[in-house]
């Protein structure tokens, strides 16, 4: 896993150089947004279940997906879907704190599309649910932190598509 700091340091180290001014600017932006990131992560962790519930209500509930024949039908599959959304929220929060998406590649997206395809889990509806989570989260944490979380929700969506 990388973060915003190791990312710029590793890239300077590869070249055997001190950080240049654009790397310093990146770090400055990251440090300046530190309090915002921590505050957002606390709000998200305190409200995680509600965020997932509201996103499901917005995007999936009473759609064909929850009826017989749909991929969320049966409590086992419904629970698997809720659990997946909770994974996406938690890992997007980690990535937002780190300021870097690498943890998503390593722990979430690696092999996920293949798993979904082989189980018939619909990617389009999953992306819709993640987008709904993005909106609900922004409503909770505010515009700036919401935008930052949005980067990582979108990253998961493009990794799935
Ligand atoms: C931390 C990283 C991680 C991820 C991301 C993960 C995802 C993941 N979701 C799965 C299943 C599943 N995922 C869903 C999800 C959905 N179905 C829908 O219709 C909705 C659109 C959607 C929810 C938004 C469902 C229903 C299953 C069960 C499918 C089945 O067994 O038939 C499975 C197959 C194994 C299992 O059932 O547990 C994996 C590995 N597992 C992990 O360890």
Task: Say if residues 32 and 43 touch (Cβ distance below 8 Å).
Answer: no
Distances (CA, A) of 68 to 53, 62, 78, 151: 21, 11, 12, 34
Question: From the CB of 81, is ligand 1 less than 6 Å away?
Answer: yes
Predicted pLDDT at 61: 93
Question: Residue 25 C-alpha to ligand 1 middle, in angstroms?
Answer: 39
Of ligand 1's atoms, which has the minimum distance to the CA of residue 78? Answer: 26
Q: What pLDDT, on a 0 to 100 scale, did the predictor assign at position 78?
A: 96
Among protein residues, the one with the nearest Cα to ligand 1's atom 39 is 115
Provide the pLDDT for residue 25: 97
CA distance 108 to 159: 9
Tens place of pLDDT per residue across the chain (161 aa) = 999 999 999 999 999 999 999 999 999 999 999 999 999 999 999 999 999 999 999 999 999 999 999 999 999 999 999 999 999 999 999 999 999 999 999 999 999 999 999 999 999 999 999 999 999 999 999 999 999 999 999 999 999 99
Regarding the beta carbon of 133 and ligand 1, being less than 6 Å apart is answered: no
Tokens 């698997």: give the residue.
80
Question: What pLDDT score was predicted for residue 67?
Answer: 94
Ligand 1: which of 60, 84, 159 to mutate, most ligand atoms within 8 Å of CB?
84
The C-alpha atoms of residue 55 and residue 135 are separated, in whole angstroms, by 8
Per-residue pLDDT at 157: 98
pLDDT of residue 77: 97
**Mutation test of ligand 1: which of 121, 129, 152, 157 has the most ligand atoms closer than 8 Å to its C-beta?**
121
Contact between 125 and 64 under an 8 Å Cβ cutoff? The reply is no
pLDDT at residue 18, as a whole number: 97
């Amino acid at each position: 896993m990388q973060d915003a700091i190791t990312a710029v340091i590793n890239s300077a180290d590869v070249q055997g150089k001190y950080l240049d001014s654009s790397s310093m600017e990146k770090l400055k932006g990251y440090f300046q947004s530190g309090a915002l990131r921590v505050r957002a992560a606390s709000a998200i962790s305190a409200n995680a279940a509600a965020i997932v519930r509201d996103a499901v209500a917005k995007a999936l509930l009473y759609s064909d997906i929850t009826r017989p024949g749909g991929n969320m039908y049966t409590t086992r599959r419904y629970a698997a879907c809720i659990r997946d959304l909770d994974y996406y929220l938690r890992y997007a929060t980690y990535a937002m704190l780190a300021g870097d998406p690498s943890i998503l590649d390593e722990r979430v997206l690696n092999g996920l599309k293949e798993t979904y395809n082989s189980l018939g889990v619909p990617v389009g509806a999953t992306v819709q649910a993640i987008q709904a989570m993005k909106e609900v989260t922004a409503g909770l944490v505010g515009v700036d932190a919401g935008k930052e979380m949005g980067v990582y929700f979108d990253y998961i969506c493009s990794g799935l598509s």
